[in-house]
Every structure is written in C-alpha cells, then in structure tokens.
Amino acid sequence: MTKEEIIKFIEKELIIYLKGGKLSINPYLKDLNLNIDNLEKLLKIHFLLDEEVLSYIKSLKINIRRLNTSINKEEILTKGNIRGNILWHKSIIKRYSINQKDYSIFICKENFKNHISKENLVLNELLKILYEIVNETSDLIYDNYDLDKEDLLKNINVYKKNIYLSKIEEKYITDKMINSVINSRNKFYSQSAKLLKRYKKIINLDEDEVENLFKRTFIDILNDWTLFELYWIVRIIKENTKNAKLYILDDKNTKVAEWGDNENIYTIYHNSTGSNEISFKVDLEEICDIENIVINKRREIINETNNIAKKIFPNIRERYSKVFNGRPDILIEIRNINDKKLNKVVIGEVKYTKDTNNIIQGIKELLEYIKFIKYKQNNKYEYFSELDIDLEVEGLLLSENLILKITDS
C-alpha cells in the first residue's frame, strides 16, 4: 500500500491531530464531519497558521503606522492660550457674555485627527481576534510548531501598543462594512477586511472555507509509520460506526474517538496506554526476589544505567526503573453501556512492512502487551491473568497484507 493510497483513504474522514513525537495538528477535511470536541479552537489555530495570516501579522509593525485618519474641526473655548485658528467674531460675543474686559478669552477652531472610521473599525476587530487566538492557544502553538515565540508575540503586541486603536470602542461590525472595506484602495485595509470575512465564515462553519483552510494548513506527516497507524485507526472507526465522536489530540489527550451500540461504549486511543485503569508497567521490584542469571543481568543493567545517568545528570530522576513500559499503537477499551465497567481491551500493533522479521517482531511486541497488561483493582494494578473478574484482552497485528488476531491462552 503506497503512501498516496493511504492518504486517499484517510483524507475523507481525518479530523484528528496526527502526531510524530510532538504535537502536529494535521487534520484534513474532505468529507466534512463536524462532530469534533472543541472544534472552534482547532479552527482558530488553523486560521492563525495560514501563511497569509502569518505574513499579515509579520508586516503589522510597518502597516499599522499608516492608519487612515479624518480631520474633525471643533470649536473650543480657551483662556490665556490659543489653539488653532481664532474665531474673532465668536470670541468677542463670548467675552461680552462672560466678562467683556477679559481679553484672554478666545473661541478657537482646532483640528483633531479622528481614527474612528469603518476601515479602522474592521482593522481593530481583526487584530483583536488575532491577539486573542495567539494568547489563548499559546501552549499548543509555541511548544509544537516551528514558530518564533518572541517574534510572533512582538508583532501581534503592536496592536495593543497602538494608542489610536486602543481608543476605538468595540462596535458590531456588519457584513456591509466588511465588504465596503474590501474594496478599499488601501491594500492593508482591503486585506484586513478579507481576512476578517474569511475568519467569520470559518467560525460559522462555512464548508468550502473550512475545507480550504485545512488544505492550506495541511502539514505533511513526518513518517509513513504514523500515517499507516492512522490509516488503521480510521479504518477501525469506519468499519464499526458512522457516528463516532472524534477528539482533538494534544500532549495531554490521546483519545481519538468514542462510539456506542446497544450494549457497549468503545473508546479508541492512539499511541497510548489508555485510561488510568490500564497499565503496562512492570517495575523492577517485581523481579527482585527471583534468582535467575538472566533476570539478575536485567536487574544489573537497570541499576547500572541509573547510576551512570545520575553521575552525568545529577538532577535527573530514576528514569530506568521499569522492566517493561510499553505503549500500544492502538488501544480500544470496551465498557458496558450501563455500569461503564471495563469488560474487554483490544490492543493493536501496527507494522507498515511486508518483511517477515518485522512481522515476527510485531507478534512478539503484541504478546508482551497481552501478557503484561494490568487492571487497577482496589487501588492496585494486577495482571489480567490473575484477576478474579472476567476481563478479556485481544491482540491484533495489523500490517499491509496480514491481520492476525491473538488472545491470551
């Protein structure tokens, strides 16, 4: 199966984050299915990551200096100073009405710059939106994208530092105002209006605009392995339901989707150990009392690794205290729809290969998961094989031309 064939299969329903060691938001909406948790946040991030939007923010520092203004002339009463042009006739009348001998009283006409125009109202609305997106999604953007944090903040903060825009009160921006500014001869204002119009369409889930957005911001997956894993996730979802709720993945959430039938609730995870009821950790303490030359060597390796690591990195914790600490490519938890109790776990090991040795290695890894899986019972993790409750575990080896089902025997 070629990469192009995989993408063709996935692109129809891929509305999830694709990851490769770090967060990499790569959803691509071909056939729109808008049942996504926190869709608005996803749309905002992709709007910000659009090349045109990033370029627009980068040029703000220069363009924002050239704000259009209108001149308002106001008549003001001054005493002891002159501002603008003196209106002599009105000044004399005012003196007579107050104190005719007070020659320090003047009525002047002063020119004031006015920044409250429809162009600046539209501009202010867009910049406010961009500023909020940058700050609301800062952790996702800065930690996981090749963007200069300081540069992005510096450019967008120009908006907050502009004394003229800061004086503009918030006002409802109509579509008529936006369309009018789009036709402005000033390219900066015209572009601002176009971006604001696009943003409003995206947030209102205009299908064409949402699809185009993801096309423009689609980031190629870093490796074929991840792509093939996601191929199987999407395939499993498609073959089992048409009504899955898809979740946005980030560094704190690995749940991809959830669906149900008359009996069970199914939750599928990617590159994850699943919920906190499940564990695949085998601690060093579990083999401390076992005397066997191979196990002794394993203990020595772990202990010496920690000793050397502490000498090189004094502040590091003991990272290598596990005999086994796996994380399956795919994990499905199946729970009873009534009491929500776990009754089955399906573990998927994905191998994007036709090589016999790699397939056999996948079988070994899958069996490790099956043998070492634990369930939390009475605040203690116990192996499935030792539980006094009926909990089933099933393994699936998923490769290009082989689907192998393995159960614990």
Angle ∠(350,32,25) on CA atoms, nearest 5? 50
**Alpha-carbon gap, residue 396 to 348, rounded angstroms:** 5
**Alpha-carbon gap, residue 219 to 26, rounded angstroms:** 6
Q: What is the pLDDT of residues 267-320, one digit of tens each?
A: 999 889 999 999 999 888 888 888 889 888 988 888 888 888 888 888 876 667
> 16 pLDDT exceeds 60?
no
Contacts of 280 (CB under 8 A, 6+ apart): 273, 324, 325, 326, 327, 328, 369, 372, 373, 374
Structure tokens at 199: 């943003």
- Residue-wise burial string across 83-101, b where 16 or more C-beta atoms lie within 10 A, e elsewhere: ebeebeeebeebbeeeeee
- Fill in the amino acid letter for 119: E
**Alpha-carbon gap, residue 119 to 11, rounded angstroms:** 39
Find, among 323, 320, 324, 300, the residue nearest to 310 by Cα: 320
Find, among 1, 34, 56, 3, the residue nearest to 214 by Cα: 34
> 93 pLDDT exceeds 50?
yes
Predicted pLDDT at 32: 36
Q: What's the rounded mean pLDDT across residues 132-156?
A: 70
Is 270 in contact with 24 (CB distance < 8 Å)? no
Predicted pLDDT at 48: 85
Bridge partners for 376 per DSSP: 381
Find, among 24, 48, 108, the residue nearest to 73 by Cα: 108
Average model confidence (pLDDT) across the chain:
81
Is 299 in contact with 357 (CB distance < 8 Å)? no
Which pLDDT band, with edges at 50, 70 and 90, does 28 fall under? very low
Q: What percent of the chain has pLDDT over 70?
A: 81
Q: What is the pLDDT of residues 146-187, one digit of tens each?
A: 566 677 888 888 888 877 777 777 778 899 999 999 999 999
Which pLDDT band, with edges at 50, 70 and 90, does 221 fall under? very low
> 35 pLDDT exceeds 70?
no
Q: What is the pLDDT of residues 57-84, one digit of tens each?
A: 999 888 888 777 766 677 888 888 888 8
Q: What share of the chain is helix, strand, coil (3-state, %, to 5)?
A: 45, 20, 35
Give the global pTM.
0.57
Q: For 135, what's the count of Cα atoms within 13 Å in the CB-facing half-sphere?
A: 11
> 113 pLDDT exceeds 70?
yes
C-alpha torsion sign, points 310, 312, 315, 316: negative
Find, among 408, 323, 407, 397, the residue nearest to 358 by Cα: 397
Ranges 187-196, 242-251, 333-342: which has the least confidence: 242-251
Find, among 203, 113, 124, the residue nearest to 171 by Cα: 124
Ranges 224-228, 240-244, 273-277, 351-355: which has the least confidence: 224-228
Predicted pLDDT at 36: 42
User: Mutual orientation of helices 175-182 and 118-136 as an angle, nearest 10°?
Assistant: 100
> 250 pLDDT exceeds 60?
no
Is 202 in contact with 212 (CB distance < 8 Å)? no
* Sole residue written with tokens 């946005």: 248
Q: What is the pLDDT of residues 320-354, one digit of tens each?
A: 778 888 899 999 999 999 999 999 999 999 999 88
> 208 pLDDT exceeds 50?
yes
DSSP string of 194-226? HHHHHHHHHHTT-HHHHHHHHHHH----S-HHH
Cα–Cα distance list, 130 to 29, 118, 171, 212, 381 (Å): 23, 19, 17, 19, 47
Cα–Cα distance list, 5 to 8, 273, 330 (Å): 5, 29, 21
CA 52, 57, 63, 64: dihedral to nearest 10 degrees? 140
> 5 pLDDT exceeds 80?
no
